[in-house]
């Protein structure tokens, strides 16, 4: 019987390419491969150690340093145009000339994934570790079902560029929404939202039923599409239960809209011009068919001075932020889905339901308690977000069109680690 031989392996310690630690037993088994009888005995007597050794060899094969499996590690300083974490360790990033990358160690190392596309990739949307969509600057859309081992083109771009294409919604391998952003990212031109419900075999261009003016599409995990035009005069709220196949008009109109949970949404009802009528909110828990209204209270504003507000954030717990029409530098916070609001900060940008960032006195300040307390921190970015694992993800300004510098913090901005 021919003994197993771990050709090209190093002694116990760490891999010289990826520096990952190897189990001590790896060196023990390797040293015994020179003796066929010794190896057979070790494999029989020390089965656990033998399996650990095999695992160590597998780690070497997958580290990307040896080149035997064709894995290419990205060099430090590589710029990515978009990056999304799936969990604490796994993330996908995209960049120039068809670059698609993945990390499985929280961003310490990145490996290039195989792709035949040479289009600049500017948007990535992972549904889970295996199902991921990426989008090119010309609206080319690729999909992987196996964590990036193979990619399929489900939308072929035509080479034209309009706005900034971004993947904004996907619940599974079939339902995907793509839009080209305009108006600072808040509103979308009516012919620039495209949805497929069959995995890319057909893409339908969405348009608002009653108007050709820009509208604001939003999605929920249940697949409902709803929109509300703004800012400006109140417009009707339209809902689609079938991803734009048909629309129905709700009995409500307003100037702000948000969703929390799968089926509930919140809408402000304007005061109708009467100075003594405060704004109202309406909440639906049945896919926007029936509504429960309640008075809207804004602490610090008189009843006859209720301002119109524009929703900027609302999460599944009912925590949200909105900006009043006046003062134009204010920010309001809600913890109950919009029934009651309190003034929280001036000229701050919300990151999530409780976290704010703002620039003041030449420094950046961070609050994780809805503006109650602030602390300065080393400003590393122009844009922040929470990733899927709850960490803060920060990116710098675009560097000469090549991509962004990315940093991540797992302690609410106290310390940062560069991802590439």
Q: How many Å apart are CA 79 and CA 34, to the nearest integer?
A: 46
Q: How many CA within 13 A on the CB side of residue 339?
A: 8
Q: How many Å apart are CA 44 and CA 138, to the nearest integer?
A: 58
**Domain locations along the chain:** 1-72, 74-207, 213-340
Q: How many Å apart are CA 262 and CA 255, to the nearest integer?
A: 21
Contact 22, 56 (CB under 8 A): yes
Q: How many Å apart are CA 34 and CA 40, to the nearest integer?
A: 11
Q: Which helix (H) or strand (E) holds 400?
A: none
Tokens, residue 391 = 């960490």
Tens digit of pLDDT per residue, the chain (420 long)? 433 333 333 334 444 334 344 443 333 333 333 343 333 333 333 433 333 333 433 333 344 333 345 689 999 989 999 999 999 999 999 999 999 999 999 999 999 999 999 999 999 999 999 999 999 998 999 999 999 999 999 999 877 666 678 888 898 999 999 887 654 444 445 557 889 999 999 998 877 666 554 456 677 766 777 665 544 455 667 788 888 778 887 777 665 667 776 666 776 665 544 444 566 788 887 777 888 887 777 776 654 555 667 778 888 888 999 887 665 668 889 998 888 888 887 789 999 999 999 888 878 899 999 999 998 887 666 788 999 999 999 998 777 678 898 999 999 888 889 998
pTM for the model stands at 0.77
Closest CA to 184 of 164, 201, 212: 164
Q: CA Rg, the chain, in Å?
A: 26
Backbone φ, ψ for residue 183 (5° rounding): 60, 45
CATH of 74-207, one of 2.130.10.10, 3.20.20.330, 3.80.10.10, 2.40.50.1020: 2.130.10.10
Q: How many Å apart are CA 176 and CA 166, to the nearest integer?
A: 11
- The answer for 170, left when phi > 0, alpha when psi is -120 to 50, beta otherwise, is beta
Q: Name 404's Cβ contacts closer than 8 Å, sequence gap at least 6.
A: 79, 80, 81, 83, 395, 396, 397, 398
Residue 114 has a pLDDT of 94
Closest CA to 112 of 127, 97, 123: 97
């Amino acid at each position: 019987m021919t003994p197993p031989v771990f050709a090209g392996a190093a002694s116990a310690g760490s891999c010289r390419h990826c520096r990952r630690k190897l189990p001590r037993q790896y060196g023990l088994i390797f040293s015994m491969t020179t003796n066929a009888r010794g190896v057979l005995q070790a494999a029989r007597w020390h089965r656990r150690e033998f399996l650990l050794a095999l695992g160590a060899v597998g780690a070497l094969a997958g580290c990307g340093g040896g080149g035997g499996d064709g894995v290419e590690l990205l060099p430090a300083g590589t710029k990515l145009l978009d990056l999304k974490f799936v969990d604490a360790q796994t993330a996908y990033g995209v960049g120039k000339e068809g670059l698609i990358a993945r990390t499985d160690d929280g961003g310490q190392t990145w490996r290039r994934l195989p792709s035949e596309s040479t289009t600049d990739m500017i948007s990535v949307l992972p549904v889970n570790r295996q199902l991921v969509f990426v989008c090119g600057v010309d609206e080319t859309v690729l999909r992987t079902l196996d964590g990036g081992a193979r990619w399929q083109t489900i939308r072929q771009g035509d080479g034209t560029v309009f706005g900034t294409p971004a993947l904004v919604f996907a619940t599974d391998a079939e339902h995907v929404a793509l839009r080209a952003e305009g108006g600072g990212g808040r509103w979308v031109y009516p012919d620039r939202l495209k949805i497929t419900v069959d995995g890319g075999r057909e893409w339908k261009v969405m348009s608002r039923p009653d108007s050709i003016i820009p509208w604001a599409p939003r999605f929920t995990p249940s697949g409902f599409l709803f929109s509300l035009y703004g800012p400006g005069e109140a417009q009707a709220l339209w809902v689609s239960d079938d991803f734009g196949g048909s629309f129905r008009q709700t009995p409500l109109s307003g100037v702000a809209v948000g969703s929390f949970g799968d089926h509930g949404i919140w809408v402000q009802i304007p005061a109708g011009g009467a100075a003594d009528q405060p704004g109202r909110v309406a909440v639906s828990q049945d896919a926007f068919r029936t509504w429960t209204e309640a008075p809207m209270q804004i602490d610090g504003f008189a009843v006859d001075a209720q301002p119109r507000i524009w929703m900027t954030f609302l999460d599944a717990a009912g925590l949200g932020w909105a900006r009043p029409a006046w003062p134009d530098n204010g920010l309001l916070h809600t913890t109950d889905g919009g029934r009651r609001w309190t003034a929280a900060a001036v000229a701050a940008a919300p990151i999530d339901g409780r976290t704010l960032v703002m620039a003041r006195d030449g420094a950046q300040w961070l609050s994780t308690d809805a503006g109650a307390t602030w602390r300065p921190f080393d400003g590393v970015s122009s844009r922040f977000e929470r990733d899927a694992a709850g960490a803060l993800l920060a990116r710098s300004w675009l560097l000469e069109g090549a991509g962004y510098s990315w940093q991540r913090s797992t302690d609410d901005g106290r310390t940062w680690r560069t991802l590439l």
